[in-house]
């Protein structure tokens, strides 16, 4: 029941990499569940739409965080726990590290408060492995803005915010090197995938060969 999360700044390519990993794992005969945060259940996807709506400029950092935790609560109960319990290989696009990077690093919320509630909401659930796709925010944002044609609420935040997010992700990787693998995300999609796959194969042995 491996639980693997894909993290990184806007436009780092993690969602593409997740889809490639899922395809390769399925070809190797694995029962794979792909999901994302915020989202992954009907209720959590509605919360996601509120969070990403660029018109919601008045959304307070505290309200933003609590909505993310509300969505996570649904997701843990409805998707993550059942999938892991049946032994699936779960690939999740963003999870708790994004909360530490965006809400604590980016927005400046109290790390102790955030960690305490988040731990409760996760019910102790933590990834076995996290792939952190590292890219300069300026590069990621221009990719993301091209892709989305019109920025979402997070993409609209200034570069300094995204630099703090990146720094917070890298600090998590330094703190938990056994769990978090930093994958340089610049260059061609295929080259990045080879790096990511190498980490997955090394961690999970012959399974995802
Ligand atoms: P995505 O576009 O990469 O799927 O992510 C949606 C946005 O949600 C992204 O801009 C980051 C934000 N986010 C947080 O701020 N905190 C969190 O805990 C999560 C999971 C996402």
* Domain harbouring 124, CATH code: 3.40.50.300
Ligand 1 centre and the CA of 209: distance in Å? 30
Residue 88 lies in a domain: yes
Is the four-CA dihedral 142, 16, 186, 102 of positive or negative sign?
positive
Whether 171 is covered by a domain: the verdict is yes
Q: What is the pTM of this model?
A: 0.96
- The reply to whether 209 falls in a domain is no
pLDDT, tens only, 62-99: 999 999 999 999 999 999 999 999 999 999 999 999 99
Q: What is the mean pLDDT of the chain?
A: 95
Pocket test for ligand 1, best of 13, 18, 37, 161 (most atoms within 8 A of CB): 37
Residue 59 lies in a domain: yes
pLDDT bin (cut points 50, 70, 90) of residue 144 is confident
CB of 68 shorter than 6 A to ligand 1: yes
Q: Is residue 116 part of a domain?
A: yes
Range of the domain at 92: 3-204
Is 38 touching ligand 1 by the criterion CB < 6 Å? yes
Q: What is the pLDDT of residue 147?
A: 79
- Cα 44 off chain centre by: 15
Minimum CA distance residue for ligand 1 atom 9 = 154
pLDDT of residue 1 exceeding 90: no
């Amino acid at each position: 029941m491996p639980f693997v999360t894909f993290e990184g700044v806007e436009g780092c390519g993690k969602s593409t990499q997740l889809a490639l990993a899922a395809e390769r794992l399925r070809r190797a005969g694995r029962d794979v569940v792909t999901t994302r945060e915020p989202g992954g259940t009907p209720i959590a996807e509605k919360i996601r739409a509120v969070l990403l709506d660029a018109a919601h400029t008045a959304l307070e950092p505290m309200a933003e965080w609590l909505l993310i935790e509300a969505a996570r609560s649904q997701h843990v109960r409805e998707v993550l726990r059942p999938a892991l319990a049946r032994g699936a290989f779960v690939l999740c696009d963003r999870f708790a590290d994004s909360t530490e990077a965006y809400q604590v690093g980016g927005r400046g919320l109290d790390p102790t408060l955030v960690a305490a509630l988040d731990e409760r909401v996760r019910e102790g659930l933590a990834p076995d492995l996290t792939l952190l796709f590292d890219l300069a925010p300026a590069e990621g944002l221009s990719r993301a803005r091209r892709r989305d044609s019109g920025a979402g609420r997070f993409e609209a935040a200034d570069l300094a915010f995204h630099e703090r997010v990146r720094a917070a992700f890298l600090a998590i990787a330094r703190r938990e090197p056994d769990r978090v693998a930093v994958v340089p995300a610049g260059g061609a999609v295929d080259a990045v995938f080879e790096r990511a796959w190498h980490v997955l194969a090394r961690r999970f042995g012959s399974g995802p060969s």
